[in-house]
Amino acid sequence: EAGVVQSPRYKIIEKKQPVAFWCNPISGHNTLYWYLQNLGQGPELLIRYENEEAVDDSQLPKDRFSAERLKGVDSTLKIQPAELGDSAVYLCASSFGGRSVGEQFFGPGTRLTVL
Amino acid sequence: GQNIDQPTEMTATEGAIVQINCTYQTSGFNGLFWYQQHAGEAPTFLSYNVLDGLEEKGRFSSFLSRSKGYSYLLLKELQMKDSASYLCAVRDHRGNQGGKLIFGQGTELSVKP
């Protein structure tokens, strides 16, 4: 079974440029999560989708970050414009059922460097 | 609010046993997870506790005391490949936060020969 797929794995951009990350969850997983992980820290939730609905985006900096999951499958996270402090690893995870026991399966992440 | 504390780093010897502690404060507790994360890789699921007691899975065991807001991960017969960061995460079930995981900072475990 294929795991959570993310692309690109690495991205280097200059500040003020836009950037987008893509995630394809495990087949059949209706819940998708985007996390931000800084070096030496645990992941922090940015947004959670149940199917195509964003049910928790309270931690998403909406002035520059946006996300979409139009058909309830894959998802895109965008930053525009990027700032130096956005340098981090962006992790996507999926699970079966947001309120059930279901463990979250993580993708390999996209490491973003903003210069 | 929510708060999760775990030691920043630990060192242990190959073949030994190590216990990684995690304390938490949360208003809507709905389970505690332990994840393993090797450098540059994705976190991978190790264990889940929702009721008090010990869950054993091979060389790894996890314990939970809800009244004390305390959990530990026990690793036996340590191997060099166990060197990684171990993340404690609490799930909150309140309102639209159902299923939301709050992670601790992680404990960096170094296994020495």
In this complex, how many residue pairs, one in chain A and one in chain B, have their CB atoms less than 8 Å apart? 57
- Rounded distance between C-alpha atoms, residue A49 and residue A30, angstroms: 8
Length of chain A equals 115
**Closest approach of chain A CAs to the CA of B23, in angstroms?**
15
Chain A contact set for B102 (CB, 8 A): 45
Report the distance separating Cα B76 and Cα B86, nearest Å: 14
- Does A113 contact B at CB distance below 8 Å? no
pLDDT at A111 (0 to 100): 97
Of the pLDDT bands very low, low, confident and very high (cuts 50, 70, 90), residue A1 is low
CB atoms within 10 A of CB B19: 12
Average pLDDT, chain A: 92
The per-residue pLDDT for B30 is 85
Q: In this structure, are residues A15 and A81 in contact, taking their beta carbons and an 8 Å threshold?
A: yes
- CA of A88: which chain B residue's CA is closest? B40
Cα separation, B26 vs B90, whole angstroms: 8
pLDDT digits (tens, 9 = 90+) for A4-57: 999 999 999 999 999 999 999 999 899 999 999 999 999 999 999 989 999 889
Is the CB of residue B91 less than 8 Å from the CB of residue B99?
A: yes
Residue A31: count of CB within 10 angstroms of its CB: 22
Q: B-contacting residues of A 39-78, CB under 8 Å?
A: 40-45, 48, 55-56
Which chain A residue's Cα is nearest to B47? Answer: A103
Residue B94 has pLDDT above 80, yes or no: no
| CB spacing of B45 vs A41 below 8 angstroms | no
Round to whole Å and give the CA distance between B105 and A25: 25
